[in-house]
Structure 1
């Protein structure tokens, strides 16, 4: 008789947030005394699964937890499957931001695989209500359990003494791609002028032509590790997140846990995290004037800034902690295994 879950994670290493999700979940499960391990697969297994050896489940495992992007040919046949949907890439609104090749890859390769996985899995989870709704509309309508991603609130915490700076310092952490809305950062910063500055994680070869980049923008490159991310958040006054579509928006939640007011796009999953005007500020997609006005309001109204900062931290502590996430997954594992 099975007494507790023992979870195996065959996972493609993508260098994205899904890697971090898996690593954190496995670490947290182990802290709870459960056995959990990752078998990392190469990136080419995503688009050429026949080019890698099919991973074999360890003898101790009694459940398999996968990302819906893992190709069905690499999924074990002798273990119950729980599959998590992390993304909303099939959102029709994103089509204009994809090239022809990427759009067809998502439509004819990833979507078809996700449908097979969702139908095969014993349990399907989504990281937000938005992801669940989009999956039902664009993939297949199967029962789904929403389990929000969780933030390590011990690691991501407010600094001991936060004082706003002059110039007021905005921070952007994320990929430098159109889906993230990065094209609007330069016009926002040009409108804000010298009283504001932006530190952002851009690619090393990002053009620095004055027509493309404002002088009050500073490329800090890729941040390696959670400590570096936390430090950058402690050294900022507010977090700007103009993303056009997010499955969850973990980095925004981490910024909130650090007491950073977040200025973000009103859309996709973001309103599930941020209540506009209470624990952050939401703006219309690509609306440069709204983003700039939100930054000015935070910079020039210290009472409002303080209220948002405190409420942001409280919002994460009450709804989006890693403990809450792990507890929900353990409950799902036990349900699949019929453990009372």
Structure 2
């Protein structure tokens, strides 16, 4: 098949899933065309059957900011015509699903559009009154809409009164890339007798990075520990200020954006994931694949990824004391931590295997193409 994928190229779960899906499909012989604003960071290296069509910025005095949406629609039209795509797969309802639908109208062909919802596109942006109707319309005109968790299924059905088929296709992880480390590089981050806690996010308020620092501050008082923070975003200055006020700047590594997080993540002993809302929790899954137990909040779709007491622990949102308790429980009992580490790795392999879920997407593609033929 010739498949067009519209997605965000920046750091974030939806862009990661879209890129990994495209890579897996390409390895299976499909021709994949990414239509994005910017180059997807998970696609830095050349891979056969993958084509990147970057949307350029158009500057004109008429526009206060470049009209990326219009430019992306135009680029999608070019790719549809130039490569005779079989279908379009939009990750995020607005703007990608809406743009895909507009592009096929311009081309004048009934190209199937599949929309995958990742969470904030419907729960935050789409649910806002300024975007509600366009988001709802995007879902209605899609040939098929999928969601990444049962939690998001319920949210989408309720928010948009969506009654059509809404398959749940979990996010997945390449366990050949995200795998346990031999630990030989730990000295680059921590001393021999120091534990390593890690947090990865876009540092938005809902990620609750300040909770991470507070947990770390209490844990380090009972156990020598180092904290690694990967990512950047609006709460970064606040996090740095809090770290400074607690005299933690020497114990926290602010690494910023990191393209290849797997080697660093695999060195950690525990992932702290206190988000107030997550439709899935891809970072948690990647940690589990590395054999890193997760201490997370019981929010959104996280319980569908992190089994409490088996691969990590769940607490109520904002319960720093409980997160401290579970983190110390893992750090102070090596055998117990190893047991959960083994469980975590096996859990990722058995339930979130990349081959299984990519085959599910292939089946959906074939389904919508067959429905088009039947019509």
Which category of TM-score, normalised to the shorter sequence, fits these structures? 0.7 to 0.9
Which range moves more in the overlay, 153-162 or 128-137? 153-162
Q: Comparing 192-201 with 105-114, which one deviates more in the overlay? A: 105-114
- CA gap 1:73/1:8 in 2 versus in 1, 3 angstroms: closer
Cα separation, partners in 2 of 1:303 and 1:87, compared to 1, 3 Å? same
**CA offsets 1:217-245 (integer angstroms, 9 cap, x no match):** 4133324323xx11211221111111111
1:139 partnered with 2:160: yes
Q: Determine helix, strand or coil for the equivalent of 2:24.
A: helix
Give the drift of 1:207. Answer: 3.3
Q: Residues 153 and 202 from structure 1, CA distance in 2 versus in 1: closer, same or farther, beyond 3 angstroms?
A: closer
Aligned residues: 323
| 2:362 is the counterpart of 1:330 | yes
Unaligned runs of 5+ in 1: 92-102
- 3-state SS of paired residue (1:336): helix
Matches within 5 A, 1:90-239: 91=123, 107-141=128-162, 142-160=164-182, 166-194=193-221, 195=223, 196-201=225-230, 203=232, 205=237, 207-208=240-241, 210-211=244-245, 214-215=248-249, 217-226=251-260, 229-239=261-271
Superposition RMSD on alpha carbons, in Å?
A: 2.8
Structure 1: distance between partners of 2:201 and 2:349: 23
Q: 1:108 to 1:50 in 2, by over 3 A?
A: farther
| Structure 2 CA distance for aligned equivalents of residues 186 and 312 of structure 1 | 24
Question: What SS does the aligned partner of 2:128 have?
Answer: helix
Bigger relative contact order, structure 1 or 2, given CA contacts below 8 A and separation 6+? 1
**TM-score of the superposition, structure 1-length normalised?**
0.85
- 2:51 aligned partner: none
Does the 8 A contact of 1:202 with 1:219 survive in 2? no
CA 1:202/1:225 → structure 2, altered by over 3 Å: closer, same or farther?
closer
Greater shift, 216-225 or 180-189, is seen at 216-225
Judged with a 3 Å threshold, the aligned counterparts in structure 2 of structure 1 residues 26 and 118 are, in CA distance, closer, same or farther, namely same
Partner of 1:321: 353
Which secondary structure state, in structure 2, belongs to the residue aligned with residue 152 of structure 1? coil
Check if 1:17 corresponds to 2:13.
Answer: yes
Distance 1:152 1:51, change over 3 A: closer
Answering whether residue 278 of structure 2 is matched by residue 257 of structure 1, we say no
Cα 1:115–1:248, aligned 2, differ >3 Å: closer, same or farther? same
Distance (Å, rounded) in 1 between the aligned partners of 2:66 and 2:364: 26
- Find the partner of 2:29 among 27, 30, 33: 33
Secondary structure of the residue aligned to 2:245 is: coil
Asked if structure 2 preserves the Cα contact closer than 8 Å seen for 1:197 and 1:217, the reply is yes
- CA shift in 2, pair 1:304/1:211, >3 Å: same
Unaligned runs of 5+ in 2: 38-54, 58-64
Counterpart CA distance in 1 for 2:309 and 2:258 is: 32
Partner of 1:335, secondary structure, is helix
Q: Which position in structure 2 is the counterpart of 1:98?
A: none
1-structure distance, mates of 2:84, 2:122: 36
Deviation at 1:30, TM superposition (A): 1.0
User: Structure 2 matches for 1:48-67, cutoff 5 A?
Assistant: 49-50=69-70, 54=74, 55-56=76-77, 57-58=80-81, 59-67=83-91
The 8 Å contact of residues 151 and 301 in structure 2, kept in 1 or not, is answered as: yes
Does the residue aligned with 1:83 lie in a helix, a strand or coil?
strand
Tell me: CA distance 1:312–1:104, structure 2 relative to 1, closer, same or farther (3 Å): closer
3-state SS, counterpart of residue 145 of structure 1: coil
Mapped to 1, the partners of 2:100 and 2:178 lie a distance apart of 35
Q: Using the TM superposition, name which of 6-15 and 238-247 deviates more.
A: 6-15
Q: Distance in 2 between matches of 1:212 and 1:138?
A: 41
Deviation at residue 215 of structure 1 after TM alignment: 4.8
